[in-house]
Structure 1
Amino acid sequence: MTDDSKTTQVLEPSTAGGSPVGVAVVEPSEALGAGSRTAGNADAMSAAKESLEDYTLRFAPRSYRKWGAGVVATSALGGIAYLADFSIGANIGISYGTVNAIFGIVVAAVVIFATGFPLAYYAARYNIDLDLITRGSGFGYYGSVVTNVIFATFTFIFFALEGSIMAQGLELGLGIPQWLGYAASTLIVIPLVIYGMKALSKLQVWTTPLWLLLMVVPVGYLVISHPDSIGEFFAFTGKSGAEGTNLASVMLAAGVCLSLMAQIAEQIDYLRFMPPKTAENRGAWWRAVILAGPGWVIFGAIKQIVGMFIAIYLIATLDPAASAHANEPVHQFLGVYQEMMPAWLAMTLAVVLVVISQIKINVTNAYSGSLAWTNSFTRITKSYPGRMVFVVVNLVIALVLMEANMFEFLNTILGFYANCAMAWVVTVASDIAINKYLLKISPKVPEFRRGMLYAVNPVGFVSMLVSAVISIAVFFGAFGSAVQPYSPIFAVGLALVLPPALAVLTRGKYYLRRSDDGIDLPMFDADGNPSDAKLLCHVTGLEFERPDMVRSAQDGPDGEPQFISSLALSTDKSGGLVLPAQK
């Protein structure tokens, strides 16, 4: 490590919790040397507008993370208010029967929980999103771009799915044509996403009690008032009509549910704002991480089973024409509400439930999608157009999917997509759990900064591509119809085994381009949380917390070391500020 401690410009936080003390104010114009005024400087300054950009490209600093663990968890769980689970449960129940569908849901839930836990922990502990985790968990600085595209695809597929459900509700309740409902469900989200976590946390906390009431009460009423519906539910055999458990049907059902695996990335977009873990908040911190991280799938599995239960009830009690809509959540809840109250009130509440649910999830889809697109675009082009540009891009793609009536092809779309999501998430989880903790080949502390990582690390990048390509080939029958239902096993199995195998084969050579970031200050505080000591970025003239900083390859006018934020490095087109690789 270089001996820079004597000249390091450190802005220590005040012990009173106020502004930094004992440090001279440096104007941006003074902090910028002649060589620092690069074309990327304007992009870096634009991205630094935290109120709108919400730490799109980087570590979420402690100075911004003012929410308690409970608020963060509630906000994160607000994002799983989506009604697609009810459709997914209904579709797989109708296709494969109740027993097979339930087993499929349980299999998917176990896989999602197990793989989501290490990712959620890293996000909350180190305050970084899943893209930044992925970079240092076997993919490299540019290698994780492909996983960002996978995640962005997840957000617009599910935005389109949820928007379609909202349009169904608006058509049924208000007579609005579906094409217009698609547009309305898209446009209503934009103003809610502008201010990122600050606005989303309030929206999710305020709307959750009403959402829970509208969802739980009718299901409870149905179970209590129609106890015979439980027996009919478990006796339902689906389209096949075959009784008993069939492994192929279970795996087909699990494959559809596993398409939701990428939901952990949306949970992490909230969990990265968790407060530091201390002895005082340890219990609350862990409960929030587990419940709002991998625990989301518990609520998701319950919703899938409830959606299946209501759909089967409607099929058993309504005429065939009405049961054709049994997989549409608005018809599901309307059917139950109508047994509890007058028709006009039932319709009103069904529409209100659908609208609240879709707004709660689609603000998250739009927000997370904008982060993913922006991150990828900035790394590839070294320019920063602003997060809001990609909010619009994501919503336009989703709107096109809605107008193309993707709802009719739900099982096929989700079954195909699941293979990509599983290959990515399981690869990262395998690197964290096995390569970091068991084999200790992968650096335990996640690294995300440009210059510290190789462009591509074959450990994760190759593992993900191989598992995705093979499982997709299996999904489309390349290895025969007998193997076709088991594509999830190939995706999960290969993504679990390949990262440790390649890490051993490459001896961990491609994880770190540098192990020394040139800053002689500890990265973590006494509790193991990312340090909140601040350093001055010589490119932007702004202060950034220690984990976000590296030494710049450009020294000051008197030969003194200068420091640069990961934000400014990401838009450095010349590469002249990136430290050379260590030999």
Structure 2
Amino acid sequence: MTEQLESTRRGSSDPVEREALKETLEDYTLRFAPRSYRRWSAGVVATSALGGIAYLADFSIGANIGIANGTGNALWGILLFSVVVVITGIPLAVYAARYNIDLDLITRGSGFGYYGSVLTNLIFASFTFIFFALEGSIMAQGLKLGLGIPLPIGYLVSTLIVLPLVIYGMKALAKLQVWTTPLWLVMMVGPFIYLVAAHPGSVSDFLSFSGMDSDGQPLGKGVSWAGIMLCAGVCLALIAQIAEQIDYLRFMPPRTEENKRKWWTAVLIAGPGWVLFGALKQIAGLFLAVYLIGHVADSVGVANEPVHQFVMIYEEFMPAWLAMTLAVILVVISQIKINVTNAYSGSLAWTNSFTRVTGRYPGRLVFVVVNLVIALVLMEANMFSFLSELLNFYANCGIAWIVVVATDIVVNKYLLKLSPMHPEFRRGMLYAVNPVGFVSVIVAAGVSIMVFFGVFGADVAPFSPLFAAVLALVLPPILAIVTQGRYYLRRSDDGIDLPMFDDDGNPSDAKLWCCVTQTEFERPDMLASAVPGPDGEKQYISSLALACDRTGEHILPADPPIR
């Protein structure tokens, strides 16, 4: 990328190089989203963000945890999951929308450091390909049932169909999510209205369901803390979904006195509010599964598969051919809506990490393909068959990351005042690694994974998510106090005299000239360069160019240590 930027500075006519630079500037892969690009209203951004949660995995998750543990444990587990997501999601969503940066950029300045957050970026990238594989598996099930396409080929089709859609970034994703959401809502809600109206007894059957084994025998499980935590653990794998919501929320318009009510509504609904829709889908998935188990022969083995759930319910009030057609359309729309988001967000995470570590920018498309290949391998390995175990394991890492960052914002910034109030993500302004977040997430995730694998006894194993959450809540303040917050900022001044924020507290839209790319960037994205101009004048450099500066010559010196 350094060569690409330098050739652009010299006025290269190579269309490949120009396109690479254009992609970097349009996707905002490595940096803050400037005001000049954020032309959408708060409502459009929120609709786009919520469009991404149209996925059907929640139906499978709800059905799996309920069948294994009973409705009572599942409902309490879903409630616990929802509360945790809302509490941790509010500070992250508000911070992202207010300062127009993604969760990786937030993480850098919230206890991890410039290179330290690469660890959490990999956690997020793992989330995107795990859930891409899960959603792709559901789509392949629909293609097999409706069109007779074998599962291995269906996995490939469900992967390749996303590729052309995700190449074009946020502009294409916003249009896709807005236009497909009304149709999706109608097709999703219809079966539940029918069941409640035509079979009112299905509600009491659902509430009294106590679990079932693989042979269809009732388990008779009552409500218990262990059962609740097993259910919540699976659901909490979705805690990292807030990072995908933020990939949209960073494009929110500036908050002003005129739009603040719409702004807050959009941020809260499209940020942590996603979990309300997710929880309802999990409950709905279990509701459909219980109905099928009790009323449809030979449905035990497929009651947790959304495509079978909708086909069988549709068939009760419409012709079989129409039921099959609508179910397949629903599955395809739902899975494309979420998997373009998974592929897009995953490519951002991979690209961001690779460029920071190597100083090279290979182009986001490279990592779109990488993410899709990993997801395809998981699908071909029949990941759907061990879904609950995989999600329960992943939840330990996701909880550790999200809770640590949320704790740093709420406690270390606003209560202890040891973490800088405003986010910082630029190279040279941050230390390479900050032990406050970096150590906290390693310890929290490490201990909870050991608990998960039974190191401290089988009776404690179901509570591994609780260990992850408590350690991630307690450790950041302790480490911030011990270090006195000295590892947050390498420099306190970026060398630019212009204010960072406007009168409403929004990131400034004042523009400065980057001496490397020969392109204008907005003030929050810029720093003074350590290299003076031809006549000794001060020069400025963008965070994009600085991320690709393998020589380090543009980086300003650190502040002298405080005794």
TM-score, normalised to structure 1, is 0.92
Identify the match of residue 138 of structure 2 among 162, 165, 176: 165
- Is structure 2 residue 432 aligned with structure 1 residue 455? yes
Residue of structure 1 in register with 2:44 after alignment: 71
Identify the match of residue 474 of structure 2 among 476, 484, 497: 497
In the TM superposition, residue 244 of structure 1 has moved relative to its aligned partner by: 3.2
Show CA shifts across 1:167-217 (max 9, x none).
000000000111111111001101101111100000000000000000001
Q: Secondary structure at the match of 1:49?
A: helix
Count of aligned residue pairs for this structure pair:
548
Q: Whole-Å Cα distance in 1 between the matches of residues 555 and 85 of structure 2?
A: 37
In the TM superposition, residue 53 of structure 1 has moved relative to its aligned partner by: 4.9
Alignment of 1:182-201 (within 5 A): 182-201=155-174
Give runs of ≥4 in structure 1 deviating > 2 Å.
28-33, 42-48, 50-53, 239-244
Q: Whole-Å Cα distance in 2 between the matches of residues 30 and 558 of structure 1?
A: 22
Residue of structure 2 in register with 1:302 after alignment: 280
Q: Secondary structure at the match of 1:564?
A: strand
Counterparts in 2 of 1:390 and 1:30: CA distance versus 1, 3 Å: closer
Residue of structure 1 in register with 2:293 after alignment: 315
Residue of structure 1 in register with 2:225 after alignment: 247
Aligned residues: CA RMSD: 1.7
- Amino acid of the structure 1 residue aligned with 2:111: G
Residue of structure 2 in register with 1:521 after alignment: 498
Q: Whole-Å Cα distance in 2 between the matches of residues 192 and 30 of structure 1?
A: 30
- Is structure 2 residue 250 aligned with structure 1 residue 277? no
Counterparts in 2 of 1:30 and 1:208: CA distance versus 1, 3 Å: closer
Counterparts in 2 of 1:386 and 1:50: CA distance versus 1, 3 Å: closer
- Is structure 2 residue 386 aligned with structure 1 residue 409? yes
Answer yes or no: is the 8 Å Cα contact 1:203–1:360 preserved in 2: yes
In the TM superposition, residue 29 of structure 1 has moved relative to its aligned partner by: 9.0
Alignment of 1:54-453 (within 5 A): 54-239=27-212, 241-319=219-297, 321-453=298-430
Show CA shifts across 1:118-144 (max 9, x none).
000011000000000000000000000
Answer yes or no: is the 8 Å Cα contact 1:86–1:306 preserved in 2: yes
Answer yes or no: is the 8 Å Cα contact 1:52–1:195 preserved in 2: no
Q: Relative contact order (C-alpha < 8 Å, sep 6+): which is higher?
A: 1
Answer yes or no: is the 8 Å Cα contact 2:8–2:18 preserved in 1: no
Percent identity over paired residues = 72
In the TM superposition, residue 111 of structure 1 has moved relative to its aligned partner by: 0.2
Answer yes or no: is the 8 Å Cα contact 1:51–1:195 preserved in 2: no
In the TM superposition, residue 48 of structure 1 has moved relative to its aligned partner by: 3.8
Q: Secondary structure at the match of 1:477?
A: coil
Residue of structure 1 in register with 2:215 after alignment: none
Answer yes or no: is the 8 Å Cα contact 2:159–2:376 preserved in 1: yes
Q: Whole-Å Cα distance in 1 between the matches of residues 521 and 267 of structure 2?
A: 26
Alignment of 1:19-38 (within 5 A): none
Answer yes or no: is the 8 Å Cα contact 1:569–1:577 preserved in 2: yes
In the TM superposition, residue 161 of structure 1 has moved relative to its aligned partner by: 0.3
In the TM superposition, residue 30 of structure 1 has moved relative to its aligned partner by: 12
Q: Whole-Å Cα distance in 1 between the matches of residues 72 and 162 of structure 2?
A: 38
In the TM superposition, residue 219 of structure 1 has moved relative to its aligned partner by: 1.1
Q: Whole-Å Cα distance in 2 between the matches of residues 48 and 571 of structure 1?
A: 12
In the TM superposition, residue 421 of structure 1 has moved relative to its aligned partner by: 0.3
Greater CA drift, 410-419 or 53-62 = 53-62
Residue of structure 1 in register with 2:555 after alignment: 578
In the TM superposition, residue 322 of structure 1 has moved relative to its aligned partner by: 2.3
- Is structure 2 residue 523 aligned with structure 1 residue 546? yes
Q: Whole-Å Cα distance in 2 between the matches of residues 481 and 359 of structure 1?
A: 39
Gaps of 5+ in 2: 213-217
Q: Whole-Å Cα distance in 2 between the matches of residues 404 and 490 of structure 1?
A: 30
Q: Whole-Å Cα distance in 1 between the matches of residues 296 and 178 of structure 2?
A: 37
